[in-house]
Structure 1
Amino acid sequence: MPLPAPYPREILHSRAIQMDGYLRADGLVDIDLHMTDRKPDEVVFADGRCLAAGDLLHDMALRLVVDQNLRIVDAIACIDASPYRVCPEATEVVRDVIGFTIGPGWSAMLKERFHGRKGCTHLTELLRPVATVAIQSLWRLRKGRAEPTDSGGRPQKIDSCYAYAASREVVKMRWPAHFREDDTD
């Protein structure tokens, strides 16, 4: 069901984010992230430059190369449009994620390494949801592998989101032994 019709309105800002995962010929996976921002009005920057209405305020891209265990083996970013001339210098900082594994602690690591003046706010915004894209990209490659379980043999996906709640139909179908009829959490 779509959103209801909005009250009459005018656009103030437009952001588009595209995230794609690609299997490379060498078995690694590229996660490409691209973000653009546009304003419907002319913008005059502090240095006097003028951005025409509808032109790109931000145009940023990032590529992470991961192995099938989600370890980052390479990272590169580019900034083709930004409000300040110094912004493209911030792209080198993304290389600091090389060697990290996307998984638990990802968000905390980003906050620690790229908070404030250490990094570009917008590139960091692109890095935050990369875990979901990377996991979804690896789905086909991991299909057929055993589900990760905790020490008691319970699939780790159970209770990880609304659909996987122990009392929901998805768990009843996939892991009937772990289904709980009266889950009150």
Structure 2
Amino acid sequence: MDREELHHRQIDLRFYRLASGLYEVVGRLVDTKRQPFRRQLAEADTPPGTPIHDIAVHLVVDDEMQVHDAFASMDATPFSICPGATATLAPLKGLSMRKGWNRQVRELLGGAASCTHIVELLGPMATTAFQGLAPARLAQINLPGSEAQRQAKVDSCYAYAAEREVVARLWPHLHRSPDRPD
């Protein structure tokens, strides 16, 4: 297939354990172009490979995924005013990165309230934190007092569908035959 790359967006998400016992999830977004690009209001072209956006967002969370701190940095932006958006993350402190997180983020930081790219990163950052904390959750889910966790996991995604093999093997009592209605 003949094709020419015009734009490259890199998104890097990482999860860390801090010495304090808290965790940090970091999202970074970098946009580059393969050819010179004239940004709006710019007096010269941006050379190929030079970041147009280089934005990092940091969230410090606990093991319940409650946000204790939120901050951002912008090493490259299309406008000189953009770094002002790094000061818009304070409303995230105290929120839980659980059900409703993306909705809350859009309500608090959507549109002109913050940076579109920061908002874009915050959704996958929540799933990265969820995956980062997965070993602890998985260690608890099969303990005798964790039936509610097991029930909540069933039908939470394709693999954990009640009629599929994963549920049949892990929790036969929660398995539902594909031909048996609820």
Provide the TM-score with structure 1 as the length reference: 0.89
Match of 1:145 in 2: 140
Which consecutive residues of structure 2, in runs of 5 or more, have no partner in the other structure? none
1:160 to 137, 156, 159: 156
Instruction: Tell me, yes or no, if the aligned pair for 2:52 and 2:76 is still in contact at 8 Å.
Output: yes
Residue 127 of structure 1 aligns to a residue whose secondary structure is helix
Distance of 1:46 and 1:181 partners within structure 2: 58
Match of 1:34 in 2: 28
Residue 74 of structure 2 aligns to a residue whose secondary structure is strand
Instruction: Tell me, yes or no, if the aligned pair for 2:15 and 2:24 is still in contact at 8 Å.
Output: yes
1:92 maps onto 2:126 in alignment: no
Instruction: Tell me, yes or no, if the aligned pair for 2:141 and 2:150 is still in contact at 8 Å.
Output: no
Shift of 1:154: 5.4
After superposition, give the CA deviation of every residue in 1:136-165 in whole Å (9 maximum; x if it has no partner): 111234442236654xx8521111111111
Residues 52-91 of structure 1 aligned to structure 2 (within 5 Å): 52-91=47-86
Please tell me the residue identity of whatever aligns with 1:173: R
Provide the TM-score with structure 2 as the length reference: 0.90
Shift of 1:129: 1.3
User: Taking structure 1 as reference, are residues 154 and 27 closer, same or farther at Cα in structure 2, changes over 3 Å only?
Assistant: closer
Residue 152 of structure 2 aligns to a residue whose secondary structure is coil
Q: How many residues align?
A: 177
Distance of 2:115 and 2:166 partners within structure 1: 39
User: Taking structure 1 as reference, are residues 149 and 104 closer, same or farther at Cα in structure 2, changes over 3 Å only?
Assistant: farther
Match of 1:104 in 2: 99
1:10 maps onto 2:4 in alignment: yes
- Percentage identity across aligned positions? 38
Please tell me the residue identity of whatever aligns with 1:33: G
Which consecutive residues of structure 1, in runs of 5 or more, have no partner in the other structure? 1-6
| Structure 1, 97-106 or 42-51: larger mean CA deviation | 42-51
